[in-house]
A and B are shown apart, each in its own frame.
Chain A
Amino acid sequence: MKTLTTCIALLALAVIPARAEFEPEPVGIVEGIDANYPPHWIMVRDFSFFHMLEGKVLVIDPLGETLGDQYKGMMTASFIAGYARSASRNEMYVIEGFFSRGGRGGERTEVVAIYDPATLNVTAEVEIPPKRITGMPKSMMNSLIGGDRFLGVYNFTPAQSVSIVDLQTRAFVGEVNTPGCGFVIPNGERSFTSICSNGSLLTSHLNEDGTLKDTTKTDILFDPQNDPIFETPAILDGVAYFPTFSGQILPLDVSGETVSAGATWSLATNDEEATWRPGGMNLIMVDSAGVGYVLMHPEGGEGTHKNGGGEVWVYDFAAGERKARIELKNWGLSLGHSGTGDQRYMFVTNPDMAIDMYSLPDGEYIKTLNTGAVTPFMVEGAQ
């Protein structure tokens, strides 16, 4: 039998080259992507928590039916990297760190890697001080400032500051000290605001070249010990909506050069909901139609603020009104969204580290994406 099989195989080999139409396949082909990613595509940020030097940002078409259709490519993102995208420049930024001796340390280098969306190649690198904060990621650890002109990167040594990168000249501008305050919340024409440990806010105003012009500071706006605001707001029409641990929303007007607080309001709408709390990683968001969403869990209390939730509550943030409650198919730990018009989607990272996809705003479950990401703590729209 083995001899017969061998004979057939040899016969086949002898026949194939004789076919006139046969042409060898070329070697060395590398795929590209249309640089204008559709709005429903998502960027899956895999922080690779168990192998922190091997993180990734995946480019995924969630509507793709096959595995090949879904996965468009990836960028490497080392050491709990940050990520940002400029719409006007149509380029992407990975803020990442390297060690000269890999897992055992050595000299640390931090860079802003600038990516071409069509090739997923690094087109330039800007070195920044090796002070970037690392740990569990929060979206406001880096932000675009002044339109898309500057990128601010939160430093923690534990002295706190923000590295400013000029994205137009692709150069490091300098550090802005933010003593006692952290994060980069863009406001006004060319300013950014940091949250201070005493419950006030520090706003740093930049000159046209990205250097510090001056600063302003608010009064104490919230209780940072007994009912702190989460680090990440949802921003809509110049207002940053910050949830608090107890389930209030603190609106901050960030449209101007100085920030101001509006009246707080409660996420709960009746007494039965009084013990529900917001919780999770990226736990609040606004979709492209301006609809707000908050990840909520029942029986909340001290220490439950990272629990995630079994429901997503839907809001008109500007009016302070809840519109609906979405019961999730699986427990959720982090929220993301993509799409426009009738094609809006929510992505919920679940405890299995898979990503559940829902339609918005109705919250109908569509499917679960298994992207291969080990710890996809954040999902963002590609645009």
Chain B
Amino acid sequence: MNWLDKLTERSTRNIAQRSSRRGFLGLLGATLAGTAGLPLLPVARASSAGAGPEVPPQSTGNPDDPGDPTQCDYWRYCGIDGFLCSCCGGTQNSCPPGTEMSPLTWVGTCRNPADGLNYVISYNDCCGKSSCGRCICNRNEDDRPVYRPAANNDIDWCIGTTTNVYNCSTAVILGLATE
């Protein structure tokens, strides 16, 4: 794992030095998130905070829904790709003011650490304003290529909305997954 530790260390340092270079964070997030047991957090935190490491974590306030929805490692985000609406004026399941939630999207399955059950998550995009630009996050559990659109997070899902302009992404729980 030395290469990954080194990458994490170097990249975190670069984030601090160049806030304008946030474009790589999602890609780096993908690099880290897919590797079980490795600390995604240093990079995810730096990505999410935007205002520096002194920003305290937040929570859903619901012990059955544990984690910080402004962080890439929040359990619902196991297949998300985009800017987290929780950092953009919305929440993990609602859009920022003045945007419109896409009725179409892809659906994944994530395991809730609170009860160990798998839940069906709908990754609805929020549309109608240009890119939020904060808290980019890319995790790819269950993601499949674009030609399997119902299982793909690469697509701009601002479809069926007034405009295709993408702002941020949510993760809405639809229900319990059945095997």
Contacts and interface: CB of A to CB of B under 8 A. Distances in A.
Given A52-B131, A103-B130, A375-B23, A156 B148 contact: no
A351 B27 contact: yes
A125 B165 CA distance: 22
A269 to B, nearest CB: 21
Interface in B109-147: 127-131, 133, 136, 138-147
Nearest to A108: B164
A22 interface: no
Contact of B154 (A105, A136, A157, A301): A136
Interface in A266-299: 281, 299
A335 interface: no
Given A104-B129, A105-B162, A197 B147 contact: yes
Contacts of A308: 27, 30-31
Contacts of B30: 306-308
Interface in A225-254: 225, 228-231
Nearest to B139: A303
B156 interface: yes
Contacts of B156: 80, 133-135
A344 interface: no
Interface in B3-44: 3, 7, 11, 14, 20-24, 26-28, 30-31, 33-36
Given A195-B147, A299-B35, A351 B24 contact: yes
Contact of B140 (A196, A231, A303): A303
B15 to A, nearest CB: 10
A228 B130 CA distance: 32
B89 to A, nearest CB: 15
B94 to A, nearest CB: 19
Interface in B132-179: 133, 136, 138-149, 154-156, 159, 162-166
A231 B131 contact: no
A106 interface: yes
B104 interface: yes
A283 to B, nearest CB: 12
A51 B28 CA distance: 19
A219 to B, nearest CB: 16
B130 A353 contact: no
Chain B interface, >50% SS class: loop
Interface residues of B, number: 49
Interface string A79-114: 010000000000000000101001111101000000
Chain A interface, >50% SS class: loop
Interface string A299-326: 1011111111010000000000000000
Given A182-B146, A183-B147, A353-B24, A305 B140 contact: yes
Contacts of A229: 145
Nearest to B25: A351
Given A103-B129, A108-B163, A157-B159, A135 B34 contact: no
Contacts of A310: 3
Given A51-B131, A104-B129, A303 B34 contact: yes
Contacts of A302: 34, 141-142
B130 A51 contact: yes
B14 A230 contact: no
19 contacts: A51-B130, A97-B164, A105-B162, A108-B163, A134-B164, A135-B154, A183-B147, A197-B149, A224-B148, A225-B148, A228-B148, A231-B145, A304-B35, A306-B30, A307-B34, A351-B7, A351-B24, A351-B27, A351-B31
Top 8 nearest A-B pairs (CB, nearest first) are A105-B163, A103-B130, A304-B34, A136-B154, A375-B23, A134-B156, A135-B155, A195-B147
Interface of B: 3, 7, 11, 14, 20-24, 26-28, 30-31, 33-36, 78, 81, 104, 127-131, 133, 136, 138-149, 154-156, 159, 162-166
Given A49-B23, A135-B146, 6 more contacts: A50-B133, A105-B127, A133-B156, A138-B146, A156-B149, A306-B34
